[in-house]
Structure 1
């Protein structure tokens, strides 16, 4: 029997809460509970990082140095260790994690930390066809000061598979949500796009969703077979700055992107 997919929500001073997929997509439920918007001060800072299950030293100092000023932190391979949960609940209003698979002590999966409470949370999982381990994704939404709703997709894509059928299958439910969303979107994470087939599938998906790719001039992203694994895609906003932070605290380097909310400039 397939395990139920859910997210665990961590909020300071409250017990961890299990969040199941909503019965309706974001666009359907117009009577969603209002929340305080992300405090963007006209800049939205986003940190994206595969944290390698916190197996290396210095991961916490990297988060403290670069994560504390970010409005959104999108982690992949995040283990819910006491240290990470404490960092999340001390510096952010809410942290949502989708347990992809349970390790001996703490579950690991994508985790989204935000400076506002999400008003929508949809956890997703896809099983690796060869290793039978699951990879997770999380779709959340936050009010912006502009009155718009920002959809955030945090994904760790399946890695070991022949062809791109399972890879594309994982993107399918995410695409349904993005297509039905009227406001700005950020989709980021570890896409494991290490083959030409996977890159083509990812770029085709981005075109269909009218998403743009964030470009990094000084590109120190982790690569496999000469191709980057981590990406940030977006729509409905402008990129002010984008950089890759070089660190030994994980086998991936964190991506730091600063957006200006508002209508995107014409190319």
Structure 2
């Protein structure tokens, strides 16, 4: 299966897992965004190794219109959460171990109108990192919301592979005419990586979400997790202080304003 780079696994309620290939046809197209404000939870969930991680998801299941996870593993506990809350989860596995898939996962209430999956191998350890672009209809609008969920390359000398992974996403974001959210664990732990990240997002007119109390996971003094956006108004942003992962979740509330330039 992993020879095909461009696939996603979809989990929906009590249904069997579905393999989504690049030519996937959208059958049902319900708007995900149906009101002027909506919230997004972004979290590297640390492979669900720690107690209470599912409890955190339970707390925000009804508040967050989008849940963007990194290092999500298809454990029975996470799949039960998806099923019990009647959520839809699109998962791009980076690797599989003991029949458990691990990678980025975007959890929502309805299916995207478009889906693109990406994998990039770590140069040294050769274990891939994954990323996912999903596009969602907005009620009473011809525009759609593009959401990019990324777990960036970590172990590399220089930024060549890091830049390559970013370019794969940014090329699609650049072409999108509508609101955009780009979020995840960017592993921007060096000055070179952080400078490149800010340069690239500025080049496609994305703005960073800033946090009044910034307790994001840091390495070498630099934050790893980010939310970038355009074509939306930032309403509120906070970081959830928890020991349920080695990263703290980011919780961001946006206002929809389709008059903003995209």
- Structure-2-length-normalised TM-score: 0.94
Residue matched to 2:149? 154
Residue 206 of structure 2, aligned match among 182, 205, 211: 211
Q: CA deviation at 1:206?
A: 0.3
Residue 89 of structure 1, aligned match among 70, 83, 88: 83
Work out whether residues 121 and 140 of structure 1, in 8 Å CA contact, stay in contact via their aligned partners in 2: yes
Cα separation, 2, equivalents of 1:127 and 1:261: 36
Verify: 1:12 aligned to 2:13, yes or no.
yes
Cα separation, 1, equivalents of 2:164 and 2:33: 35
Q: CA deviation at 1:67?
A: 3.2
Residue 245 of structure 2, aligned match among 246, 250, 253: 250
Residue matched to 1:108? 102
Work out whether residues 121 and 139 of structure 1, in 8 Å CA contact, stay in contact via their aligned partners in 2: yes
SS at match of 1:56: coil
Residue matched to 2:220? 225
Cα separation, 2, equivalents of 1:264 and 1:165: 37
Residue matched to 2:121? 127
Cα separation, 2, equivalents of 1:143 and 1:36: 7
Verify: 1:79 aligned to 2:34, yes or no.
no
Q: CA deviation at 1:105?
A: 3.5
Residue matched to 2:183? 188
Verify: 1:200 aligned to 2:201, yes or no.
no
- Structure-1-length-normalised TM-score: 0.92
Cα separation, 2, equivalents of 1:265 and 1:210: 12
Work out whether residues 89 and 95 of structure 1, in 8 Å CA contact, stay in contact via their aligned partners in 2: no
Work out whether residues 10 and 89 of structure 2, in 8 Å CA contact, stay in contact via their aligned partners in 1: yes
- CA 1:143 to 1:265, structure 2 compared with 1: closer, same or farther past 3 Å? closer
Residue matched to 1:235? 230
Work out whether residues 237 and 264 of structure 1, in 8 Å CA contact, stay in contact via their aligned partners in 2: no
State the superposition RMSD in angstroms. 1.9
